[in-house]
Structure 1
Amino acid sequence: MEELRSAMEEHMDQMADLVHKLSAELRSGLRPAYENFIGFFHAIDWKEPWLLGLLGFHFLLLLTTITSRKNLNFQMFLFLLALAGVYLAERLNNLLGKNWKSFAGQNYFDPNGLFLSVLWSGPLLFIAIIILINTLFSLCHLIVRWKRAELRHRARLSRNKQE
């Protein structure tokens, strides 16, 4: 019995040590990510006209997505448009990287495409997720309407059979 207690205490000590190490890594792991984000944010000149235009484009697209939430066909068009924009992001990054001097104060377009992924693809994916969630809610509502109609139809059939 003493051996079992000793083994349990040893196991608990190991688990506590693992939890302590994991929490220490998580705490130190978020600080570099935060510092990288702040550095990224401060490295961008947010007053450049093309960046303001890009942010305005994303805002208008989000507003259009929200206002057209009842029109599923238009929502699917916006969904495909957003996904096409994400698909073409690599080509867009290459094109903008070659011609950045004509519209930007500095070259934001690295070969890995981080800048364009954050400021172009990220918002487009966010809008696509909003459209997807809206479509799922609409489909659930449609299924409920269909099931209610089916139940009403069955009730009418059973009343007609009884008469």
Structure 2
Amino acid sequence: MEDLNKAFEQHMEQMAELVQKFSAELRSGLQPAYENFMGFIHAIDWKEPFLIGLLAFHFLLLLTTIISRRNSNFQMCLFLLALGGVYFAERLNKILGDNWRNFATQNYFDPHGIFLSTLWSGPLLVIAIIILVNTLFHLCYLIVKWKKAELRHRARLSRNKQD
């Protein structure tokens, strides 16, 4: 029983220490996150052709998503392709990390995949969320349209019964 109490006290001390560290980070504000973000931005050579191509790809995919917003089947294909791109990001990071000398001046592809997650998966997830929200709005519109048709049909049936 004494060992259990001692283990519980150690656990509580660790939790108190974690809470203190977390609250200290919250009090420091967003400055460390901003500095890390700016360091990430400045570490990238934005004139690399593959980066320009990647950004152009994401822009064209976003434009295609916006233009095709009324075509649900095409949007679902885009949605699945975007999520497939995110799913295969780890494998893509490994392949690009092994062959970075063929298309880049420096190796951006770390083992944790931070670069690829930020510049590949992030935009794909944003596009997938846009498609998802558009689909939800489209479904709401269809539900309202269906309910109106149902109410009109019921009104016609009740008029026919009265005649």
Tell me how many residue pairs correspond in the alignment.
Answer: 143
- Residue 158 of structure 1 corresponds to 158
Q: Aligned to 1:110, what secondary structure does the other structure show?
A: coil
One-letter amino acid of the structure 1 residue matched with residue 92 of structure 2: L
TM-score by length of 2: 0.85
Q: Provide the C-alpha distance between the structure 2 equivalents of 1:116 and 1:84, rounded to a whole number of angstroms.
A: 14
CA-CA distance at 1:135 after TM superposition: 0.2
Q: 1:71–1:43: structure 2 CA closer, same or farther, 3 Å change rule?
A: same
- Residue 5 of structure 1 corresponds to none
Which 4+ residue blocks in structure 1 deviate beyond 3 angstroms? 22-25
**What stretches of structure 2 of length at least 5 have no aligned partner?**
1-21
Pairwise CA RMSD? 1.5
- Residue 90 of structure 1 corresponds to 90
Q: Provide the C-alpha distance between the structure 2 equivalents of 1:153 and 1:26, rounded to a whole number of angstroms.
A: 59
- Residue 142 of structure 1 corresponds to 142
One-letter amino acid of the structure 2 residue matched with residue 55 of structure 1: L
Identity of aligned residues (%): 80
CA-CA distance at 1:26 after TM superposition: 2.4
1:121 aligns to 2:121 (yes or no): yes
Q: 1:95–1:23: structure 2 CA closer, same or farther, 3 Å change rule?
A: closer
Query: Which residues in structure 2 correspond to 1:3-42 (within 5 Å)?
Result: 25-42=25-42
One-letter amino acid of the structure 2 residue matched with residue 120 of structure 1: W
- Residue 9 of structure 2 corresponds to none
Q: Aligned to 1:74, what secondary structure does the other structure show?
A: helix
Q: Provide the C-alpha distance between the structure 2 equivalents of 1:24 and 1:114, rounded to a whole number of angstroms.
A: 25
CA-CA distance at 1:29 after TM superposition: 4.0
TM-score by length of 1: 0.85
